[in-house]
Amino acid sequence: MAKSRTLYVCHECGAEFPQYFGRCSACHAWNSLEEQVEQPAPTPSQRFSWSHLPGENPEGLPSATKPGQPRASFLLSQISDQSQSRMPSGYAELDRVLGGGIVPGSLVLIGGEPGIGKSTLLLQVAHILSHTKRVLYVSAEESGQQVKLRSQRLEVATDSETETETETETKPENGNQHPPTPTADPFTEQLKNRHPKVESAATPITEQDLYLLPETDLEVILRELESLKPQLAVIDSIQTVFFSSLTSAPGSVAQVRECTSALMQVAKRENITLLIVGHVTKDGGIAGPRVLEHLVDTVLYFEGDRFASHRLLRSMKNRFGATHEIGVFEMVAHGLKEVSNPSELFLGNRDDFSPGTSTVVALEGTRPIVVEIQALVSPASYGSARRATTGVDSGRLLQILAVLEKRVGIPLSKLDAYVASVGGLKVEEPAADLGIAIAIVASFRDRVVDPRTILIGEIGLGGQVRPVSQLELRLREAAKLGFKRAIIPKGQSPADLGLQIIPVSKVIDAIIASIPAQPPTMNDEF
């Protein structure tokens, strides 16, 4: 009979050691090793295998001839894809991040800072899907009464708020025509056409097929999943459930690894979609071992500023869709509301023609978002110049400042430089280099960039403006929002979208084209 052995596991990175050390040699964290007893490996009868499942299975694979008999290999074309049709979540923004909807039998891990809205989002999704699906909400952090109170708070955002918003949008002002409604995202319209029953996330919350299980013991949770057989289950959260057979505390590396593995086996066997909430560390990563992110199919991060109302749902891993896709939500008094046109959210007041402002088109996954960049250049108050950024990569800023000083001749080494993106959206791709550079030069010269101009291009170390990917997609988004001119890298020839295209090959050419001799007047309408 196999014997258990003692290991020391780092609770920061999950590294294992045969003896105790004061500092983890993998992540260099101090006092992070915890003693754990490794249980003996399970017998072959306890292990999970797809090839030993008799009869029909959720993957639509050819069945084994006898129970327990291993299945031979088969052609990929023999697998039925009927059971893998995606189901809508009720939020077009969430469906976009997931690649078009929720895949049955998948494991989705959602992480984020405390209070960012993870549980709120999943509870709203669970309520919406409970109208057509059987849903189980496992609350390992709250009691049943607490979840009920939270659901009652979300219930207010239903008919009354929807009617109020409808009256506000349709009521004419001073007898004039109805104000124009913002252009909806084509992806949102496509999802609504595909799933007409799920048109809005403001569906009245009712207890249809929504079951609540306030439990932390994983064995009880697994029995409930196998007996209830829901189409969707929410685990809130993975760091608070535990295996009673393990001696380590809930949230430890061993507990998170074993609990996730057991949940994955049940989800794949019963074709249950699992939405799992994960805590994050002080560095922003998912708490627990790295194997947690490897076991699940999709990893989503819920981001946001506690001083702002909008939230970003970002895909970091997705086996069924594009990575780095984002969905935009807004936190209101009664929960989360999706933002179908995020470009309007990250555009500042276009009537305020202040110096040091430019506009770029950032690409998040397959979604173009128009973002306003603001820069401020001022004399250094102390001996060395300061460089500070908000939403912009600090390394890119230092590189752009060096190019402007060396290739353009602008003395910036003794000046403080502050660069920020409106709304706090993280703009990390190189295509925003040109807009950042123009904003810095405009602030240095105290001039105004035409707010009807969009800037797209990567800046090389030699001062060149390099081509970017998906240029036509970016320009189409700019044209939809009413921009008139676009300064783009020379050599790229996009389709005619009604924009005045100005190709440039050097940064100095972009400066001349974007900062005219006379700035636009206040009478010019955007």
Write out the binding residues for ATP: 112-119
Region for residue 12 given its phi and psi (left: phi exceeds 0; alpha: psi -120 to 50; beta: otherwise)? alpha
The binding site comprises 112-119
d(CA 12, CA 202): 39
Residue 27 near residue 52 (C-beta atoms within 8 A) = no
State the amino acid at position 111 in one-letter form. G
- In the numeric block, which tokens belong to residue 171? 């009521």
| Nearest of 333, 274, 336 to residue 302 by alpha carbon | 336
* Sequence-ordered alpha helix ranges (H) in 86-181: 92-98, 118-129, 144-155, 159-170
d(CA 51, CA 385): 64
Are β-strands 210-213 and 107-112 bridged in parallel, bridged antiparallel, or unpaired?
Answer: unpaired
The angle at the Cα of 96, spanning 94 to 97, to the nearest 5 degrees, equals 65
HEC letters along 350-362: CCCCCCCEEEEEE
CB atoms within 10 A of CB 15: 19
d(CA 401, CA 459): 11
Hunting for tokens 């500042």 — which residue is that?
348
